[in-house]
Amino acid sequence: MNDGLPRALTIAGSDGGGGAGIQADLKVFTVLGVYGMSAVTSVTVQNTMGVHAVYDLPPEAVGAQIDAVADDIGVDALKTGMLSTAAVVRVVAAKVTRHRLDRLVVDPVMVAKGGRALLTDDARQTLKEVLLPLALVVTPNIPEAEILTGIEIRDVAGMKDAARRVVTDLGARTVVIKGGHLPGGAGGEDGEGHGGEGAVDVFYDGAAFTELWAPRYHTRNTHGTGCSFSATITAELARGATVAEAVRNAKEFITGAVEHSLDLGRGQGPTNPWAGAARLGRVGG
């Protein structure tokens, strides 16, 4: 039975430092009033200084976790993060299809901030071929979008070109390309003409582009931004938001989470999910 509580599933790697991966996703789900569930794909040895080791789970273990929660509790929306191997990507795609999970957010995690690969080369191709066509939303950053599309992105026009290709060529229904890797000041302006140094994301729904602008905050504590952004979209979809609403709310959430990021550890600290939820006017519901 479902008593009306939104339910969201994250399929990703475990970050023992709590800043990214499964742990970050579950924090976001909780502060946004969504019941969070998980299917762990890999266990990483990780802290603010980087990823020190990765232990992948067998694909059948990943699939069994998805079956267990989908058959019993139910899933209103779900996201993928670190999938690591082609075999895991194929299992996830098969389970999404079997359980008819149509609110799928794919965060194509490929490389950790410290540079360690989190997706093998053959898994990248498998992701493009079998998982992206099932996605309601794909959320690549600029380096990931370049890998997915094979083009170089230097500006917002390049982001739009890549976004169009993710939908037209790779089969995703919508895509939001995150512009945080563009040089400061290349972020354009918001819909109300507020220019200056900022970060712009490009959302494409298959018909029209929307540029989402926010101020750029200078902090080293950005660990888990991509995970938290895609988790917010997932939580909002589970709550019944449209894709456009979910993406806009995710931009607001991550802006607050970065502005008030947490100065923990000796390296890149995590973003702040409580501040992100407060920016949206809700914590825990």
Catalytic residue among 226, 256, 269, 276: 226
Question: Sheet of 198-204: strands edge to edge?
Answer: 50-56, 35-47, 7-15, 77-80, 104-106, 137-138, 174-177, 198-204, 209-215
Based on the residue annotation, tell me whether 44 is a catalytic residue of this protein: no
| Cα angle, residue 71 at apex, residues 66 and 73 outer, rounded to 5° | 90
Based on the residue annotation, tell me whether 95 is a catalytic residue of this protein: no
Based on the residue annotation, tell me whether 222 is a catalytic residue of this protein: yes
Catalytic residue among 21, 80, 187, 227: 227
Based on the residue annotation, tell me whether 178 is a catalytic residue of this protein: yes
Catalytic residue among 139, 222, 255, 271: 222
Catalytic residue among 27, 79, 178, 251: 178
Catalytic residue among 224, 256, 269, 276: 224
Based on the residue annotation, tell me whether 198 is a catalytic residue of this protein: no
Based on the residue annotation, tell me whether 227 is a catalytic residue of this protein: yes
Distance separating alpha carbons of residues 39 and 17, to the nearest angstrom? 18
Q: Which residue intervals of 51-206 are DSSP H helices?
A: 59-72, 86-98, 121-126, 142-149, 156-168
Catalytic residue among 225, 234, 255, 271: 225
Per DSSP, the three-state class of 200 is strand
Active site residues: 178, 222, 224-227
